[in-house]
Structure 1
Amino acid sequence: MSWSAAPTETDWQRAIDALTSGGPVLLLAHVSPDADALGSALAAGLALDSRGVDVVVSFGDDPFVVPRVLRTLPGQHLLRAPAEVGERPVVASFDVSSIERLGVLQAAAEAAETLVVVDHHASYTGFGGIHLVDVKAPATAVLALEMVDRLGVEVGIDIATDVYSGIVTDTGSFKYSATTADTHRTAARLLETGLPHDVVARHIYDDEPFGVLKVLGGALDRATLEPGAIGGLGLVHTCVSKAVRDEHGLPLDAVERVIDVLRIATEAEVALVLKQDDTGAWRASMRSKGKVDVSQVALGLGGGGHRFAAGFTGGADHQQVLDDVRAALDAVARQEL
């Protein structure tokens, strides 16, 4: 399934009415949040908080740990661990294409009287009650900014920083094809607030422990190129085990940038990194150059994403997860090519 309907004025009005109805509100990012997911939720949270709404922000990871590169995003005082959020009649999710991506907070979303979904993925499964989903948006953060505007809240440095962080990451620093002239105009508007864009970029891209370099080097040394995979389009893949991370004292989010280096291989249409989490399960991150929709691969394996970037959590058998991805990539390629 591929979502294509854009949000209507009625959708927006219903969402704003629900979020400002006076009841407690819970805003959710997806598990293992990135800057687009958490930045969007925090931006909306700051706007609602300024309107006097009882609002908290969370994501469904247990243990609840904010990724290190996101700990400078403004609005962290709104964050609550899943066990602390309680029952809230209005829930809004950000950058969540399937309800399973809410992790341990899936039940909280299902129990809500109103569930608003703010997203930009074509792989969105339609699980919400109000769909603020625009697949043409380069980032969910663009929709979060529209929500802030519709709430009538001034965009200051804090909200601008959260939104800008989401846009700059989900566009690959404005490199990806979803970037438009409007994307740059939005970025200019955010920069005019005075947000320290150089500091934001440094926190996201250029500030890692030395151990990350060692893990990255090892991951690249283990990389395998399969030029005949995906009907000859090519697949490059590698893995990072929990043992390797533990050797350098690194959390799971510290290996996120491996995929960004792996994806540059000319001979491969798709790059895949399998990262073993603390439970022993293998989490897959995929990147496509555009000929293959990796969101359809991820969706079929219990995850989500968009055409160029997607992911899912597999089982404890590394080889089985790798085989599942190969088979799914071949199936999607046969449908599309």
Structure 2
Amino acid sequence: MTTTPDAVGLDPVDVQAAVAALARARSVTVVCHVQPDADTVGSGLALALVLHRRGVPVWVSFAEPAELPASMRTLPGVRYLVPPAEVPRAVDVLVAVDCGGVNRLGALADRIDGAATTLVIDHHRSNTRFGAINLIDPSAESTTSVITGLLDAWGVPIDAEVAHCLYAGLVTDTGSFRWVRPGTHRLADRLLATGINGAEIARALLDTHPFGWLTMLSRVLGGARLAPGVRGVGLVYAFVRAADAGELDSEEVESVIDIVRTTAEAGIAAVFKESGTVPGRWTVSLRSRDTGPGAADAVDVARIATGLGGGGHRFAAGYTAFGSPEDLIAGLLNALG
């Protein structure tokens, strides 16, 4: 096994176990989390490209929504994506990527029972370690960073197609490199050196929206509210109702949190997104920021989300809730204390 700077946060024993499981696999299913982002899809497709080249049948899927968000449809390897109904019931290895818990697999959680081995690859500190093998690095910027360390340990070269998928997760989970650690830019440079167009990848994933997104924003942001006394740093929140979202992809709705979180008067931000298919169900995105000693740097939103049935990172987390908007706000305020 080769240890690289990108794999420093990984347990060598876990890495060896993951490499061994994938090396001997004769069939692999890769499950991404529901409402997929570029980190989970990029991780899944990077693995699929590598496994396919080794002659291993591989299926990549996510439970919902029905279609891959438009911004990710140019990622290499999308041909290995299949609808949930086409995911086999029995495989040698099932790999869950960027999934902090079984609940993030959605309806595909039932495929775990048919897998001879389950491998979880993730970077969420709140991960429940539900796999037989758990390759978790909470210090990693993205799950694609963890995948990079795994491929290095496996001795698999990273070409432009694989690098494209890995960079997609890196650029999105770091917020275009706003949230980095030592080694982040070194990894980005390594991936860019394969010849991928980093600017075009970032533009497609982060800076392109349909016109309807503007209309949705005008309605949602007009209803945003500020609670300045919460936790001593303030909470800003907004609701995205199903009628506001209309026909927009889930990724357009998810992007609202990145605008709401810029509010100067609040150290904590929340966006409640109504399900268009399940009455009363909302997915909630939480963000916090470090505004100095004793302020929002003490607010661990992963802890808050975990207490509400979700999980995530210290400064970015989420959960699912049911009820009216009033119930949701009351529940969050109670959790925040």
Aligned residues: CA RMSD: 1.6
Q: Distance in 1 between matches of 2:33 and 2:326?
A: 26
> Which of residues 116, 135, 138 is equivalent to 2:141?
138
Q: Distance in 1 between matches of 2:227 and 2:10?
A: 41
Aligned-residue sequence identity (percent) comes to 42
The answer to whether the aligner puts 1:53 opposite 2:59 as a matched pair is no
1:6 Cα deviation after fit? 5.3
Q: Which residue of 1 aligns with 2:242?
A: 242
1:110 Cα deviation after fit? 4.1
Q: Distance in 2 between matches of 1:266 and 1:260?
A: 13
The answer to whether the aligner puts 1:150 opposite 2:153 as a matched pair is yes
Q: Distance in 2 between matches of 1:188 and 1:253?
A: 27
Structure 2: tracts of 5 or more residues without a match: 1-7, 291-296
Alignment-mate amino acid for residue 117 of structure 2:
T
What aligned pairs does 1:72-87 form with structure 2 within 5 A after superposition? 72-86=74-88, 87=90
> Which of residues 301, 304, 308 is equivalent to 1:301?
308
Alignment-mate amino acid for residue 318 of structure 1:
P
Q: Which moved more, 1:131-140 or 1:6-15?
A: 6-15
1:251 Cα deviation after fit? 3.0
The answer to whether the aligner puts 1:233 opposite 2:233 as a matched pair is yes
What aligned pairs does 1:222-301 form with structure 2 within 5 A after superposition? 222-230=223-231, 232-246=232-246, 249-279=247-277, 280=279, 281-290=281-290, 291=297, 292-301=299-308
Alignment-mate amino acid for residue 37 of structure 2:
D
1:212 Cα deviation after fit? 0.1
Alignment-mate amino acid for residue 265 of structure 2:
E
1:233 Cα deviation after fit? 1.6
1:60 Cα deviation after fit? 2.0
> Which of residues 118, 122, 126 is equivalent to 1:123?
126
Contact 1:282 1:318 in 2 (8 A): no
Contact 2:100 2:312 in 1 (8 A): yes
Q: Distance in 2 between matches of 1:6 and 1:154?
A: 20
- 1:28-59 residue CA offsets vs partner (Å, 9 max, x unmatched): 11111111111111111111111111111111
1:154 match: secondary structure:
coil
Could you say if the C-alpha distance between residues 151 and 77 of structure 1 is closer, same or farther in structure 2, counting changes exceeding 3 Å? Answer: farther
TM-score (norm 1): 0.91
The answer to whether the aligner puts 1:183 opposite 2:190 as a matched pair is no
Could you say if the C-alpha distance between residues 53 and 110 of structure 1 is closer, same or farther in structure 2, counting changes exceeding 3 Å? Answer: same
1:190 Cα deviation after fit? 0.5
TM-score (norm 2): 0.91
The answer to whether the aligner puts 1:15 opposite 2:22 as a matched pair is no
Q: Distance in 2 between matches of 1:123 and 1:39?
A: 21
Q: Which residue of 2 aligns with 1:326?
A: 333
Structure 1: tracts of 5 or more residues without a match: 331-337
1:275 match: secondary structure:
strand
2:322 match: secondary structure:
coil
